[in-house]
Each structure stands twice: as C-alpha cells, then as structure tokens.
C-alpha cells in the first residue's frame, strides 16, 4: 500500500518516530514491526486493533461520543419524543458503538424519549442520498417520529434535506457527525442545530506529543496530558495498556462553522 511505502522510506531515513492513521491496519503490521525493530517509536491514531504500535490514540471513548451526540439530539427535541438511530452499515463497529452509547444514555438521562421499537436502527450505507431517502420513508411511515440520531458523517446532512423537503423543520430534529464546510448551509438554515466531530489536526498534535514523551523516556500512565484540548487527561481503554482515549470531540454550530478551516 501507499502508506507501507511511505513508512518504508521513513525507516530508511532513520527517523526517531512515526505517527500514522492506518487505512488498512492489517497491511501495515509487517512494516510497522520493521520500524519498531529498528528502534523507531510508532504511535497510531484510529488504529485500536494495530498490534505493532507502542500506543494508539483515540479522540474519545465510543460510548461517550454516542452519549454526546444524543445530548445534542435531546436538546433539539426538547428531551421528549420518539427517535431512531442511523448507522452507515450495521457491520461498522464504531457507528454501532456510538449508536448503542447514545441509546443507553437516553434511557438513563431522558426518560421522556423513546426508541422507535419497529425500526430502532436504519442504514445510510455511508451515503447522503441513501440517508435522505431512508429518512423520507421513515418520516412518512411514522408520523410521530421526532428525532433521528446519525453516526456516519453522511447521516445528519441527508436527514436534514428530508426534513426541509417534507416541511418538517422545527417538528423533526437530527444530530450526528458532520464536516464543517460541507454542512455550512444546513447549519445556517437551522436544519440541524449542531454537528459533532473531532479535529484531525489536534489528533496529529497529540500523536507527536506522545511520541516526544516516549523519546524523552517519560513513563506513560493514566491521565497523561498531551497538551492539546480534549487530550489533556488520557485514559487507557478498558482492558488495554496501549489504547489511550481522550474526550476530543468538538461541536460545530452556525456560529463556529467558518472558524475551523476544513
């Protein structure tokens, strides 16, 4: 792969550390092992399953991020009404962990919100057009549906289009992950009040910061501060001594959508 080739070149240059966001973790195992055998500090991001890494940084715990999306949806819905969850694919581990985290949080924190039992989880196929079509069908089929929790970055934007087209603005609400620039219009129109995301630049800084600490011989322990907001109190994931989780999510609203630079 292209990533493997780049890492190969870096090993040849004898760099001190490599930070990588693995596109295909399995394909990188041999070359990352080679890097570590050569004494290079390897740090990954979004590579929780990577074996040949010293540490993997995750912007957040998946269940906690799902709860955060749910808080945004609950606020929009006035903390009451029927909702469904939408994922890219039911096979996508992260999306389903976010959705499960949101549902569990709603059960505890929002007693007047209820999950639509007939269709609690629908798929957008990671496609804005599909999200839009699925949302339209749901809203026609279940007139009392009030909220759709999105996970994939295509979900909430697709749902927002359906809400606008069916004239349901202010009656039906959505929240979920989304990129700032691509969704400026739906935020400005108040079709969605808030989208959530993590800033990849912050994660990159956190990787470099952690690599520096390792190179300086510092002990990496629970609560390590990587010097960037959301990564100041890193916790080891349950059952892991390699995966470090922060709380590095950001909220995108019409007020800050132009400030993020991507």
User: What is the distance between the alpha carbons of residues 97 and 229, in angstroms, rounded to a whole number?
Assistant: 23
pLDDT of residue 262: 87
3-state secondary structure of 130: helix
User: What is the distance between the alpha carbons of residues 231 and 247, in angstroms, rounded to a whole number?
Assistant: 6
pLDDT of residue 93: 83
Helix ranges (DSSP H) in the chain: 2-12, 25-37, 62-77, 93-109, 128-141, 155-165, 184-188, 200-215
User: What is the distance between the alpha carbons of residues 225 and 212, in angstroms, rounded to a whole number?
Assistant: 12
Helices (H) and strands (E) in the chain, counts: 8, 12
Per-residue pLDDT tens digits for 58-90: 999 999 999 999 999 999 999 999 999 999 998
What confidence category does residue 94 fall into, taking pLDDT thresholds of 50, 70 and 90? confident
User: What is the distance between the alpha carbons of residues 136 and 130, in angstroms, rounded to a whole number?
Assistant: 10
Query: In this structure, what token pair is assigned to residue 86?
Result: 């939408």
Per-residue pLDDT tens digits for 193-252: 899 999 989 999 999 999 999 999 999 999 999 999 999 999 999 999 999 999 999 999
Any idea what the Cα angle at residue 34 is, between residues 33 and 35, rounded to 5°? 90
Domains of the chain (ranges; CATH) run 2-61+199-248 (3.40.50.2300), 62-197 (3.40.50.2300)
User: What is the distance between the alpha carbons of residues 95 and 62, in angstroms, rounded to a whole number?
Assistant: 8
């Amino acid at each position: 792969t292209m990533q493997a080739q780049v890492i190969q070149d870096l090993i040849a240059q004898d760099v001190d550390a490599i930070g990588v966001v693995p596109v295909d973790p399995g394909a990188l195992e041999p070359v990352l092992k080679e890097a570590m055998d050569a004494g290079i500090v390897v740090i990954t991001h979004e590579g929780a399953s990577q074996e040949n890494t010293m540490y993997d940084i995750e912007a957040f715990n998946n269940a906690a991020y799902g709860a955060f999306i749910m808080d945004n949806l609950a606020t929009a819905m006035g903390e009451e009404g029927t909702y469904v969850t939408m994922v890219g694919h039911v096979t996508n581990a992260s999306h389903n962990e976010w959705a499960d985290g949101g549902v569990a949080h709603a059960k505890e924190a929002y007693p007047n919100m209820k999950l639509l039992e007939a269709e609690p989880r629908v798929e957008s196929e990671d496609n804005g057009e599909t999200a839009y079509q699925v949302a339209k069908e749901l809203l026609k089929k279940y007139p009392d549906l009030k909220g759709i929790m999105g996970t994939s970055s295509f979900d909430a934007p697709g749902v927002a289009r359906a809400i606008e087209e069916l004239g349901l603005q202010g009656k039906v609400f959505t929240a979920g992950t989304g990129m700032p620039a691509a969704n400026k219009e739906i935020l400005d129109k108040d079709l969605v009040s808030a989208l959530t995301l993590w800033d990849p630049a912050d994660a990159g800084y956190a990787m470099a910061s952690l690599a520096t600490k390792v190179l300086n011989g510092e002990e990496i322990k629970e609560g390590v501060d990587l010097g960037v907001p959301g990564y100041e109190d890193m916790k080891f994931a349950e059952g892991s001594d390699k995966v470090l989780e922060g709380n590095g999510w950001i909220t995108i609203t019409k007020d800050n959508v132009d400030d993020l630079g991507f």
